[in-house]
Structure 1
Amino acid sequence: MPREAPYLEVADALRARITAGEWAVGDRLPSRARLAEEYGVGRNVTQRAMDRLIVEGLLEGRAGSGTYVRKPRERMRMVRSRHRERRGSSPFRADMKERGKAGTWEAHSQARTPAPAHIAERLALQPGDLCVVTRYEFLADGQPVQLSESWEPMSLTGETPVVLPEMGPLAGAGVVERMRSIGIMIDTAVEIPRPARASQAQANLLGISLGDLVLVIERTYFATDGQPVETADIVVADTRWEVAYEFGVDPG
């Protein structure tokens, strides 16, 4: 296996020392020169390592003073629940409202897009069948929260007013409400969460660093007859959001 870049190794070592309590919140770290000597690397390597920990929220730089251990950033909780589609509006906007934040998003749809093989399999289509793909950037108080790439078969929506999720009479209403308007009743959503590392494009959009931990949620909605009607890949920055799942319990 190839070794990590030297600055990542130094960052991992410093992170471990902070976690172990060698430096407490408010303590000043040794100088770049001293750390470079300790780890046998150049000062630019220790600077990149410290910059990474600043981005992660473990350290803070103070002009003319040095680099200090800062109080860790609070991770907010994002609840995935079977009730999230029963609120009469966008599930994301409702989730953010519960946390005192304004939920907004930017979206771009492209119709008549051939389904790649992995999407076709998830939607029970043939590879190349035409879909609408919509790419979203979700924001809370103007700050990035999550990304999503959603696919819907044009065989279901192509001749209807809701073919484009963010245009028409139900723009922004959510998949369940839009499908209900054309007689398709959704009763099941399946989500498969997987940890991953942020690509450069994802990092740029989420305001994190290349390779940072993200949670990728593969979500598929199913109609009452078992037909998959939409599938999406949702990407959440792990350093900022903790994803929790809420389940109902049958008391009987």
Structure 2
Amino acid sequence: MPVARYRRIADDIRARIARGDWAVGQSLPSRRELAARYSVNEQTMRLAYQLLRRQGILEGEERKQVSVAHPAAVRTLTDVDATWPYSSETTDTRPRPATEELAERLGVQVRAQLQHETVECLDPGGRSAMLVSTWWRGRRRPHARFTAELETVELGEEQAHALGLLVDALAYRVLRTRLDEHDAPVETADLILPMDRWRIRLG
């Protein structure tokens, strides 16, 4: 079976990167420019770029400039309740009504008004390493312990945009719920970790 043209182009770009035509961090030409060089339409180049982003060869958002990706630093998450040791940015603090899932996790009524924040945790190089969305009722309270569950999810548009990945890319989702001394939930959070940047080892 013949190899799709966009895959052949992706292979050629990968080979050119390997021989140093483009260095790590360097921007590639626009899709339009490379489409002209390869004598294909822009949709074919879009598929090639998309494949290379998925493989971690390129980084950058859809419809924006892409560059040669730095090798992803793979970290191991062992403590989901630990403080993030590097810089972070709070990107959203809008209150939210409790969904059925959040109501169950927090022991509140569906559509109860919850406080909320989403924090983007950055690695030492300034790239997004993890997103943490937290919800709680009333004022924040200290916790005595926590529970955690692990699953995989496909990234939504906002998450993919923040992490510089493709929509529907797979990520780990850690559901962390903090409990008080009476085992009542005081807050719950989703930790979204790109699968190409993390290993998970929960005790």
Structure possessing the higher radius of gyration over alpha carbons:
1
Q: Gaps spanning 5+ residues in structure 1: where?
A: 1-8, 37-41, 61-69, 86-90, 94-101, 158-162, 164-178, 248-252
State the Cα deviation string for residues 20-41 of structure 1 (Å, max 9, x = none).
xxx8x9379xx989x99xxxxx
* In structure 1, C-alpha distance between the alignment counterparts of 2:163 and 2:57, rounded to whole Å: 20
Residue 104 in 1 paired to residue 88 in 2?
A: yes
- 1:118, distance to aligned residue in structure 2 (A): 1.6
Residue segments in structure 2 that go unaligned for 5+ positions in a row: 21-33, 59-67
- Superposed CA RMSD in Å reads 3.7
Aligned residues: 175
Change (3 A) 1:192 1:10: farther
Identity %: 18
User: Is 1:55 aligned with 2:39?
Assistant: no
CA distance in 2 between counterparts of 1:126 and 1:78 reads 36
Cα distance per residue 1:146-189 (max 9 Å; x no partner) = 112211111xx2xxxxx4xxxxxxxxxxxxxxx33xxxx422x2
Q: CA separation of 1:49/1:191 partners in 2, compared to 1, >3 Å: closer, same or farther?
A: same
Partner of 2:71: 73
TM-score (norm 1): 0.55
How has the CA–CA distance of structure 1 residues 146 and 12 changed in structure 2, closer, same or farther, with 3 Å as cutoff? Answer: farther
Q: TM-score scaled to structure 2, two decimals?
A: 0.67
- Deviation, 1:43, is 4.7
Work out which structure has the larger RCO, using CA pairs closer than 8 Å and 6 or more positions apart in sequence. 2
Match of 1:5 in 2: none
Divergent runs of 4+, >6 A = 11-14
Which residues of 2 match residues 1-252 of structure 1 at below 5 A?
10=4, 26=18, 43-57=41-55, 59=57, 73-81=71-79, 84-85=81-82, 91-93=83-85, 102-111=86-95, 113-141=96-124, 142-154=126-138, 157=139, 163=140, 179-180=141-142, 185-187=143-145, 189-239=146-196, 241-247=197-203
CA change 1:46–1:186 in 2 (3 A) is same
Change (3 A) 1:144 1:10: farther
